[in-house]
Chains A and B, each alone.
Chain A
Amino acid sequence: MTQFPEKLRRLVRLVDAMGDRAERIQFLVDTARRYKPASEAIATRPYDELFKVPACESQVYAFAEELADGTLKFHFTVENPQGISAMALAVILDDTLSNQPVEQVAAVPSDVVYEIFGRELSMGKSMGLMAMVSMVSNYAKKATGSHGVG
């Protein structure tokens, strides 16, 4: 966990400290309620397939906005209204990885989803969520070498 950006490290610790599964689930549900789709200032429909998260059944699109300081702000649109887990992760990734050093974001491993959601996800669900993390870290990897992602 040492390579995680500070905000993500704090969130993982918070989730890990939760007493039981129900508490973590409620935290994630409450987090999902804060989800807002990417605004038209970031992307307009129809979205290019380039921004679609592969292997995600909730039809998630991920966008990276380059900020003046060279860091990135992440935006997501979750097309499936029942994609609650994807919405929760979208909020978490924005909260914890936006405006963080891109080198650190690039190093975030996709299996951090297990530390956030636990190990009781179906294979399909976990792979979709991991793909969201991978897409964000890939944006960051590109930003470490060049500008103008998303």
Chain B
Amino acid sequence: MSDDIAKRGYVDPDVLVSTAWVAENLESPAVRIVESNEDPLLYPSQHIPGAVEVDWTRDLNDPIVRDYLEQDGFAALMSRIGVTRDATVVFYGDKNNWWACYAFWIFQLFGHTNAKVMDGGRLKWEQEGRPMTTDVPEYEATSYEPPVRDDTTIRAFRDQVREHVEAERPLVDVRSPEEYSGVRLHMEDYPNEGALRGGHIPGAANVPWARAVNPDDGTFKPADELNAIYQKEHGLKPDDDVIAYCRIGERSSHTWFVLKYLLGFRRVRNYDGSWTEWGNLVNVPIEK
């Protein structure tokens, strides 16, 4: 963590590391740098020296069931990238750490709590002219025994969301206002990923994920600015039981990260079924 991050007032500032911290720890055997992007060509084109790639499609998703990898798959992934249970895993990636936060969230399903996100992601690292390489590192395979994936604490499923709606508990829709209102069925410049209806889950507040970052360098905004958005503007409270969602759960991972770690919300879950599930479900209500 840098002094700059420490001064931003986050509840759990240790979950963020600066680009300078990463640069100082590139050689550390206790640290594994993980790049996670949407564009599959970015990592091969160049990456932080020593960084390994975790691809959200190939490495984290089950190819058959719409679900994430199971315990044995996660063990194999960690072994392949040379991560031990004690290793500090630092995520970074494109799109202001969208996919890095998504990978981080999945790692938390398996209890790898010694994990951090590099503030500003790939954008900031490149802006600062820090070293990049095309060399793909090889690490000695590890023996990693993860716990069974815990879907109960930070992940929400549709029936739980329905109960949440009926109980009038807070939901955060992190998509664009156009998606939220139903004008669009998908993010701007993205395709319609199969949702039959446009709108949002009843009662959800609309707080687009990108409001949490500084667009110039992809860093997270300080806590007072984040609180102004989530607490003052939208009335969320750290003790609330909150569910965040988007289209498939990737953007809402970013908001989940902000609420849970930077603002200290104790009960926040990511609904990865998100609008591609809710927008197609039979016999569930929506709002526009």
Q: Residues on A close to B: CB < 8 A?
A: 22, 25-26, 28-29, 32-33, 54-57, 81-85, 88, 117, 120-125, 127-128
Closest residue of chain A to B37 (Cβ to Cβ) is: A82
- Decide: A122 and B38 in contact? CB cutoff 8 A: yes
Nearest 4 A/B pairs, CB to CB: A127-B191, A84-B41, A124-B190, A57-B189
Q: Are B191 and A124 in contact (CB under 8 A)?
A: yes
The answer to whether A25 and B40 touch across the interface, beta carbons within 8 angstroms, is yes
Which residue of the partner chain B has the closest CB to A120? B57
- Measured CA separation A95–B40 after assembly (Å): 22
Q: Among B42, B45, B94, B193, which residue has the most Cβ atoms of chain A within 10 A?
A: B45
What band does the interface of chain B fall in when counting residues whose beta carbon is under 8 Å from A?
20 to 34
> Is B189 touching A32 in the complex (CB atoms < 8 A)?
no
Beta-carbon nearest neighbor of A117 in chain B? B40
Residue of A nearest to B55 (CB): A120
Identify which of residues 185-203 in chain B touch chain A, using a CB-to-CB cut-off of 8 Å.
187, 189-191, 193
B56, B122, B189, B190 — most chain A CB neighbours (10 Å): B189
Spell out B's residues near A (CB within 8 Å).
Answer: 38-42, 44-45, 55-58, 94, 122-123, 126, 187, 189-191, 193
Q: In the assembly, what is the distance between CA of A84 and CA of B44, in Å?
A: 10
Collect the chain B residues with CB atoms within 8 Å of residue A54's CB: 189
Give Cα A33 to B134, complex, Å: 13
Minimum distance in angstroms from B248 CB to a CB of chain A? 8
A28 touching B41 by the CB < 8 A rule? yes
Decide if B193 touches A123 in the complex (CB within 8 Å).
Answer: yes
Contacts of A85 in B (CB 8 A): 39-41
Complex Cα distance, B191 from A127, in Å, reads 6
- The answer to whether B44 touches A127 (Cβ under 8 A) is no
Within the assembled complex, what's the spacing in Å between the Cα atoms of A28 and B42? 11
Cβ contact within 8 Å between B41 and A55? no
Q: A124: which B residues are within 8 A, CB to CB?
A: 38, 187, 189-191
Q: Residue on B with the closest CB to A52?
A: B189
Bound CA–CA A54/B122 (angstroms): 25
A82 — which chain B residues lie within 8 A by C-beta?
39, 42, 94, 122-123
Are B193 and A26 neighbours in the complex by a CB distance under 8 Å? no
Q: Determine if B190 and A123 form an interchain contact, defined as CB atoms under 8 angstroms apart.
A: yes
Q: B38: which A residues are within 8 A, CB to CB?
A: 122, 124-125
Q: Kindly list chain A residues whose C-beta atoms are within 8 Å of the C-beta of B123.
A: 82
Contact A123 B191 (CB under 8 A): yes
Whole-angstrom distance between the Cβ of B95 and the nearest chain A Cβ: 8
New A-B pairs, 10, CB < 8 Å, besides A26-B44, A56-B189, A82-B123? A29-B41, A82-B39, A82-B94, A83-B39, A88-B41, A121-B57, A122-B38, A123-B190, A124-B38, A124-B190
Nearest neighbor of A128 in chain B, beta-carbon distance:
B189
Once A25-B44, A26-B44, A122-B57 are accepted as A-B contacts, the answer to whether A84 and B191 lie under 8 Å apart by CB is no
CB distance from B268 to the nearest CB of A (A): 25
Q: Is the CB of A55 within 8 A of B40?
A: no
Question: Complex: how many Å from CA A128 to CA B189?
Answer: 7
A4 to chain B, nearest CB (A): 22
Chain B residue numbers with a CB within 8 Å of A32 are 41, 45
Would you give 10 A-B contacts (Cβ < 8 Å), ordered by A?
A: A29-B41, A55-B189, A55-B191, A82-B42, A83-B39, A85-B39, A120-B55, A121-B40, A123-B193, A125-B38
Q: Please measure, in the bound complex, the distance between the C-alpha atom of A122 and the C-alpha atom of B55, giving whole angstroms.
A: 11
Q: How far, in Å, is A56 (CB) from chain B's closest CB?
A: 6
**Contacting residues, chain A, for B57 (C-beta < 8 A):** 120-122
> Closest A-chain residue to B248, C-beta based?
A123
CB proximity of B183 to chain A, nearest CB, Å: 16
Contacts of A57 in B (CB 8 A): 189-190
With a CB–CB cut-off of 8 A, which chain B residues contact A29? 41, 44-45
Whole-angstrom distance from the CB of B24 to the nearest CB of chain A? 24
